[in-house]
């Protein structure tokens, strides 16, 4: 028996995207965004949705570029930190000790310590309400050499985690369940 | 040391959204969509991105409504099945034995056996490339009574799973890591 819980911005699970940008002075910033996901295969695109009040929103509008960095479980504290404070008042790279490396492809910083980074160029902006949806074309993906398997990131080694908005908690990825496009095939 | 793996539509992790729609004859359909995510808090909105070749795309354009159903790990086989075959050639509810219940709020079916359903009204359509991005305003969420805790779905009971596009595999949610907006706080 199902019950209404009202209109809420809830799905399970949400990703943990750390968005990298530069401000006008070239100061690198990063913020935690759970409102996002892949939104096209050709060209490969990802959407991130941000409040206009955020510094990252301001930076994306200015630079038309951003990175989506995927943190490993070992960086849960840093990932949470960059979602609490604003780049307007703190230098988050300095505070966390994480290293910004300038992308050679887009005008945005790559977080060196995180295993995987999508380098994105802004191609669409959609005003929805409290949030603006930014569509970034993924121009390249950089992955730690040791965490690549068959030219894609090996999830057992990148060790991403998820955000559950319902409980406002982070969870690791659990056990392997099944092969997609396979387990559901009619024999 | 990071290495380029090229421009691919890859993030880790992706959600498993089962999109419910009706066709012109009122036949319920469902498909598996990994390209999606929350995209606004006010109004609460979710985006799903689909190829125009899919039957679901056709149904959303016609009805301007859809549901986003979150399957539990016990339904990994059914979730995968609805991502392999097209509603143009098979009646997926009949084939899987899942039960479509008409939403009283939007013109789309709720999958009864799944723990959680977002009832969405189409408010924006953005053509990106191979995929069309649909923004649905979440008009209500229905959750199994037994899986609600403090008016939100309890992830320990809804038991959603994730899709890893890199390995084309499904994984369960793993162990609790930390409280968001808390673990990263500067003391």
Which pTM does this prediction carry? 0.97
Q: Which CA distances in Å does B108 have to B18, B47, B63, B104, B120? A: 12, 16, 8, 9, 8
Cβ atoms of A80 and B181 within 8 Å: the answer is yes
Size of interface A-B (CB pairs under 8 A): 381
Q: Which residues of B touch A141 (CB under 8 A)?
A: 4-8, 10
* DSSP track, chain B: -EEE--S-S--S-B--EEEEEE-TT--EEEEEE-SEEEEETTTTEEEEEEETTSHHHHHHHHHSEEEEEE--GGGHHHHHHHHHS-TTT--HHHHHT--EEE-SSSSSEEETTSSEEEEEEEEEEEE-SSEEEEEEEEEEEEEEGGGEETTEE-HHHH--EEEETTTTEEEEEEEEEEETTTTT---
Whole-number pLDDT of residue A187: 67
3 state SS of A74: helix
Which residue in B179, B16, B21, B9 sits closest to B100, CA to CA?
B21
Whole-number pLDDT of residue B187: 67
State whether A10 and B118 contact (CB < 8 Å): yes
3 state SS of A145: helix
Q: Scanning every residue of chain B, which has its alpha carbon at the shortest distance from the alpha carbon of A137?
A: B7
Cβ atoms of A22 and A59 within 8 Å: the answer is yes
Which residue in A133, A103, A132 sits closest to A120, CA to CA?
A103
- Taking only the tens place, the pLDDT of each residue in A4-20 is 999 999 999 999 999 99
Whole-number pLDDT of residue B139: 98
Whole-number pLDDT of residue B186: 82
- Taking only the tens place, the pLDDT of each residue in B95-111 is 999 999 999 999 999 99
Length of chain B: 187
Q: In chain B, which residues have pLDDT < 70?
A: 187
State whether A177 and B154 contact (CB < 8 Å): no
The shortest C-alpha distance from B109 to chain A (Å) reads 13
3 state SS of A95: helix
Considering CB atoms only, which of B77, B80, B179 is closest to A168? Answer: B179
Range A17-172: architecture per CATH: Roll (2.30)
Q: In chain A, which residues have pLDDT < 70?
A: 187
ipTM: 0.97
What are the residue boundaries of the structural domains of chain A, listed by start?
Answer: 17-172
Whole-number pLDDT of residue A186: 82
State whether A2 and B171 contact (CB < 8 Å): no
């Amino acid at each position: 028996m199902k019950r209404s819980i009202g209109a809420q911005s809830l799905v399970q699970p949400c990703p943990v995207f750390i968005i990298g940008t530069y401000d006008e002075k070239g100061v690198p910033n990063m913020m935690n965004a759970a409102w996002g996901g892949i939104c096209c295969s050709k060209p490969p695109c990802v959407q991130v949705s941000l409040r206009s009040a955020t510094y990252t929103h301001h930076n994306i509008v200015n630079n038309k570029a951003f990175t989506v960095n995927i943190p490993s479980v070992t960086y849960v504290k840093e990932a949470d930190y960059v979602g609490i404070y604003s780049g307007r008042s703190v230098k988050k790279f300095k505070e966390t000790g994480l290293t910004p490396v300038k992308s050679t492809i887009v005008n945005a910083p790559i977080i060196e310590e995180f295993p995987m980074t999508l380098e994105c160029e802004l191609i669409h902006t959609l005003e929805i309400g409290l949030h603006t949806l930014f569509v970034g074309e993924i121009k390249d993906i950089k992955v730690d050499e040791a965490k690549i398997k068959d030219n894609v990131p090996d999830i057992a080694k990148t060790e991403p985690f998820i955000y559950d908005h319902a409980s406002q908690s982070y969870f690791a990825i659990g056990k392997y369940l099944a092969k997609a496009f396979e387990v559901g095939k009619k024999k």
